[in-house]
A and B are shown apart, each in its own frame.
Chain A
């Protein structure tokens, strides 16, 4: 068994360099800022708790490269996000669109605020001076 692992060791060490734009910023600062803002809202699919901007996984690097290449081509960040959602579902974004599954998330704060106002009004009226 030990021998088999020793044989596999050279295979475990990936020899390929990271994608060109995985760790390199775009020369245009405005484009880089747009790419960066988008990257912070995209989920790394390997390490699912991190954004691709924070993650050091190889796949996150490839996703950063994809975002930077497309932003450099002039594609809108929203279109890049939609392209990824079409392939991975809304799970890939930390800024989920309103849908049948997510509307309570969006509406609950408003409902709680309204409930709070009603409760506050009630308690202020109860003891008039």
Chain B
């Protein structure tokens, strides 16, 4: 009866499996898909301008925020006041408008304010996909040399504003 300890193998494996499943219950996995481009250079792109009188977002520029948004996205309306605060602090914000139309964007900007220096029309999400962005709103912190410093997934909240402004200032 040398192999008596083998009797315990099923119970021990069950306890281990139970621990794995229980840990998933207590601490659910983060299912946010993050861009693999953070830390690398922003890819170059050329978009048509979204609204009259405002240039289109390009892949180059000063240290800035690149905000992926849409007029049909409710959290984008929710984050608008925070973006206006960032603009007032002197942070340049470029925008990529996803699956949108000029009248809808104009209406959105008239209602919630216009924090954007440039807006690009990304009708088929081509630039969004090239950035590794998986939804709206998302905000990329881009340094003057084009390095993506951070990807903020979801709406910018009041307590994110100071940190994002400091990141952009530090990247000039």
Contacts and interface: CB of A to CB of B under 8 A. Distances in A.
Interface in A6-38: 8, 11-16, 19-20
Contact of B124 (A19, A48, A84, A92): A19
B135 A87 contact: no
A62 interface: yes
B104 A87 contact: no
Contact of A16 (B35, B74, B100): B100
Contacts, number: 71
B131 A87 contact: yes
Contacts of A91: 33
A46 B136 CA distance: 10
Nearest to A66: B129
B36 A46 contact: no
Interface string A46-62: 10100000000011001
A46 B124 contact: no
Interface residues of B, number: 28
A84 B135 CA distance: 15
B134 A11 contact: no
Interface size range on A against B = 20 to 34
Contacts of A11: 71-72, 74, 77, 104, 107-108
B129 A62 contact: yes
Nearest to A86: B36
B135 A48 contact: no
Contact of A59 (B71, B107, B123, B125): B125
Among B36, B77, B100, the most chain A Cβ lie within 10 Å of the Cβ of B36
- Is chain A's interface secondary structure helix, strand, loop, or mixed overall? helix
A58 B99 contact: yes
Contact of B125 (A8, A14, A48, A62): A62
Contacts of A39: none
A45 B123 contact: no
A46 B108 CA distance: 24
B134 A88 contact: yes
Interface of B: 31, 33-37, 70-72, 74, 77, 99-101, 104, 107-108, 123-126, 128-132, 134-135
Given A19-B123, A88-B134, A91-B33, 16 more contacts: A11-B74, A11-B107, A14-B70, A16-B100, A19-B124, A45-B33, A45-B134, A48-B33, A58-B99, A59-B135, A62-B124, A62-B125, A63-B129, A66-B124, A88-B33, A89-B33
Interface of A: 8, 11-16, 19-20, 45-46, 48, 58-59, 62-63, 65-66, 84-89, 91-92
